């Protein structure tokens, strides 16, 4: 709830009223008989309320208070993190497309494996023919140092 300061132009008396915005009085009566008028004040600027270079802010990605984006970038580099601003413009869309393509390929492999099992092929032979070393190396899922077929 806000605290509203009032002052008297006649005698200089001051008073503070704690009330909601809707209940805020336009003017009050002073003990000297004159009116108390609302005083125009600056809102308090506390750390984390609005952020900014002079007061800092809480960086959720880092999980800590920082004084500036420059400091946040430095801490991120020290922790081995990559800031979102360093990604390409279409990074998310490209990643989702790549993931979708990989998922479709894995589903196709699974269906191929299941159909080989259904045709009576042994599980190890079905796996070896579906997931061959050369196929997995071609997709980048297996190191090229591994040999076999």
Q: Write out pLDDT tens, residues 19-36.
A: 888 888 887 899 999 999
pLDDT of res. 148: 63
Question: What does the CA dihedral 23, 26, 29, 30 come to, rounded to 10 degrees?
Answer: 110
Q: Is the C-alpha dihedral spanning 138, 143, 145, 146 positive or negative? A: negative
pLDDT of res. 53: 46
Alpha-carbon span 140 to 51, nearest angstrom: 44
Low-confidence ranges of the chain (pLDDT < 70): 43-55, 148-149
Residue found under tokens 């709830």 = 1
Residue found under tokens 């032979």 = 125
pLDDT of res. 118: 95
pLDDT of res. 44: 63
C-beta of residue 100 within 8 angstroms of C-beta of residue 108:
no
pLDDT of res. 46: 57
pLDDT of res. 113: 93
pLDDT of res. 47: 53
Question: Would the pTM count as exceeding 0.75?
Answer: no
């Amino acid at each position: 709830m806000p605290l509203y300061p009032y002052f008297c132009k006649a005698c200089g008396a001051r008073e503070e009223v704690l009330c909601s915005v809707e209940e805020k009085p336009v003017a009050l009566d002073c003990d000297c008989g004159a009116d108390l008028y609302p005083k125009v004040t600056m809102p308090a600027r506390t750390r984390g309320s609005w952020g900014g270079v002079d007061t800092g802010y809480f960086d959720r990605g880092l999980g800590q208070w920082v004084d500036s984006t420059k400091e946040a970038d430095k801490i991120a580099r020290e922790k081995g993190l990559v800031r979102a601003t360093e990604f390409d413009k279409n990074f998310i869309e490209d990643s989702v497309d790549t993931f979708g393509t990989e998922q479709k390929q894995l589903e196709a492999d699974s269906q191929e494996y299941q159909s080989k099992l259904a045709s009576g092929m042994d599980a190890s032979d079905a796996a070896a023919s579906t997931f061959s070393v050369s196929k997995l190396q071609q997709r980048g899922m297996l190191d090229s140092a591994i040999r076999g077929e």
